[in-house]
């Protein structure tokens, strides 16, 4: 009997189950955000959202040799659906970590620009080709399919971010260069939409 084939088959089944579970979780999250519309808006301290998002991804980042840095935003407040904005920021961090190389840094910051909160997630990763920049916020669109398979990406994270921005009357944008990294900017009106 060849036991190695049983082990490989078992590992493959576990991997398929984990990826399926992630896809289902992301689809449910996207559906909740789409159907929930604006959600429950309240005044929320920005630093609490950013800190929780960093905590959610710290272990994963450490396991792949990526450092997470949070620039203290100070006492900023925003009127938003806390869970939706937390989901958006978490998805941006998740992508930044997945597409960074060992030894890279992912920096999270927030500033006020006129009447908007701007949350930026910057990485030193592989960057995004110019030809893909217009499509990355589409459902299931993946720039690097091989890396997505390796990291377990579902292709839904940036679609979730876009819907959260829309639900808040805001925008999401990206600046990127191949081989140099990306900066994603989530803009949300301070007083809600």
Could you read off the pLDDT of 98-137 as tens digits, one per residue?
999 999 999 999 998 889 999 999 999 999 888 888 877 7
DSSP, res 101: P
Residues 86 and 47 sit within 8 Å (Cβ to Cβ): no
**Tens-digit pLDDT profile for residues 178-188:** 889 999 999 99
Helices (H), the chain: 3-36, 46-63, 82-98, 145-151, 157-167
Q: In the prediction, which pLDDT does 3 show?
A: 46
Task: For residues 83 and 88, give the distance between their C-alpha atoms in angstroms, rounded to a whole number.
Answer: 9
Q: pLDDT digit string (tens) for 1-42?
A: 544 455 455 555 655 554 555 555 555 555 566 666 556 788
Helix, strand, coil share (%) of the chain residues, nearest 5: 45, 25, 30
SS3 164: helix
Higher local confidence (pLDDT), 143 or 66: 66
Average of per-residue pLDDT values in the chain: 80
What is the distance between the alpha carbons of residues 154 and 140, in angstroms, rounded to a whole number? 7
Global pTM reads 0.77
């Amino acid at each position: 009997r060849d036991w190695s084939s049983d082990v490989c088959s078992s590992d493959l089944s576990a991997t398929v189950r984990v990826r399926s579970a992630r896809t289902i979780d992301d689809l449910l999250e996207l559906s909740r955000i789409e159907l929930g519309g604006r959600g429950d808006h309240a005044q929320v301290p920005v630093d609490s959202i950013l800190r929780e998002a960093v905590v959610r991804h710290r272990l994963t980042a450490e396991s792949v040799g990526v450092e997470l840095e949070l620039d203290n935003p100070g006492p900023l407040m925003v009127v938003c659906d806390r869970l939706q904005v937390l989901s958006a920021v978490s998805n941006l961090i998740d992508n930044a970590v997945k597409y960074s190389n060992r030894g890279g840094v992912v920096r999270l910051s927030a500033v006020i620009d006129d009447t908007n909160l701007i949350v930026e997630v910057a990485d030193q990763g592989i960057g995004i080709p110019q030809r893909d920049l217009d499509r990355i916020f589409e459902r299931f669109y993946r720039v690097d399919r091989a890396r997505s398979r390796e990291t377990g990406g579902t292709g839904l994270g940036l679609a979730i971010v876009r819907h959260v921005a829309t639900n808040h009357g805001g925008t999401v944008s990206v600046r990127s260069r191949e081989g140099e990294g990306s900066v994603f900017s989530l803009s949300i009106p301070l007083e809600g939409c």
